[in-house]
Structure 1
């Protein structure tokens, strides 16, 4: 039991790390949705006061952005998963062709982590008795054959997080009277960016204030640029 404990703790920490990465990706996806859709609808608001135009542009941007995020994430994770499967196939072949050499390699890895040779050998033998592929994949590849990243889950998470972020500026700009649309939407967006910047910094272990200011400044520039373009090209017609 004692010899298996370090391995269990390490796998637990890696699992927690993966969950935090997923959460951070979801926050960043929502952040992208906020900035992209806010820039779009505020640009349109600079050109026209028509709610129909705002709704059409906002929904089009929301769907295009969320689909783009989902497809991009699906392709990226699918490529990663293919690489992981290829590495596991190679490991499986090596275990079948030279099990003793692989056992020596696994024991050497545990010894390199600080375990005495005898204990390292015992841990390697114990783990290899039950599931040698999992034992080797965990130490050599930092993979769990039963927990490979799902491309569909990644795509779905990106779609949902981007959509959730996009709904904030779109909802606000449609509900607020025309005379205050841009200012109220901008304030709501900057508050949201402050929040997502702080959360992503906390999850990533980065300085919070620097991340927040960078996020808010980027959003402000995006909205200012699109509003300027909309105002210059628009007719302010109903």
Structure 2
């Protein structure tokens, strides 16, 4: 069981890492698209900074809220399963033991061995045994929605720092090209890391996010440039 718990903990950490990478990726793309779009309409630093900060704050809050709602729903479902199993153990412990043995039989264990495993695990912690075997749920892995929300907001903000610096620090004539280059390089990196975590094709994943990010930047810059030529800003 120690190995199982260790594997579960590792999977949980990898999921958090992947979520962090994707959150940073969102921060890079959305913030870069906003500041590049505004830079297409005006060369003034004030409007670019204002729009960029609004994108960072609004995006981080939106990411945190979405993650909070999602994880809260997941946690409510997990808590419901825990209560159902706890009540079932109180009402019919023998039936739950038989269900646990059948769950191990379904995995290819012989009936005699499955019964012995079920009895030993039930003797140690009946609720944990039921949750692990029947729902693949570990009470130690129930995620806090507040932790998820904060982590998502932090990851988004970290990702957003790069395009903000890229658009504000260089001289005005090269702001947009520098932001394009920095953003696409960062997206290639986050795509590579995400594919490594997920075990997919590194080149394909990096190409997808770079292409998508490039299209987003090109679209917002074009729209900003068109608005700028109309004299609206």
TMscore range, shorter length = over 0.9
Q: What is residue 43 of structure 2 aligned with on the other side?
A: 49
Q: What is residue 171 of structure 1 aligned with on the other side?
A: 165
Q: 3-state DSSP class of the match of 1:227?
A: helix
Displacement of 1:21 after TM fit?
A: 1.1
TM-score by length of 1: 0.93
Q: What is residue 186 of structure 1 aligned with on the other side?
A: 180
* Mapped partners of 2:176, 2:214: distance in 1: 12
Q: Does 1:111 align with 2:118?
A: no
**Equivalent of 1:151 in 123, 138, 145:** 145
| Alpha carbons 1:49, 1:237 under 8 Å: kept | no
* Mapped partners of 2:141, 2:207: distance in 1: 37
* Mapped partners of 1:194, 1:208: distance in 2: 9
* Mapped partners of 1:114, 1:76: distance in 2: 35
Displacement of 1:144 after TM fit?
A: 1.4
The alignment yields a C-alpha RMSD, in angstroms, of 1.6
* Mapped partners of 1:15, 1:111: distance in 2: 25
Displacement of 1:145 after TM fit?
A: 2.0
Q: What is residue 87 of structure 1 aligned with on the other side?
A: 81
**Equivalent of 1:32 in 5, 26, 29:** 26
Q: What is residue 196 of structure 1 aligned with on the other side?
A: 190
**Equivalent of 1:222 in 211, 216, 226:** 216
* Mapped partners of 2:122, 2:184: distance in 1: 54
Displacement of 1:216 after TM fit?
A: 0.5
| Alpha carbons 2:122, 2:129 under 8 Å: kept | yes
Runs of 4+ in 1 over 6 A off after TM superposition: none
Displacement of 1:71 after TM fit?
A: 0.2
Q: 3-state DSSP class of the match of 1:231?
A: helix
* Mapped partners of 1:159, 1:33: distance in 2: 9
Q: Which consecutive unaligned segments of at least 5 residues does structure 2 have?
A: none
**Equivalent of 1:129 in 123, 128, 133:** 123
TM-score by length of 2: 0.95
Displacement of 1:237 after TM fit?
A: 11
Q: Report how many aligned residue pairs link the two structures.
A: 232
Displacement of 1:190 after TM fit?
A: 0.5
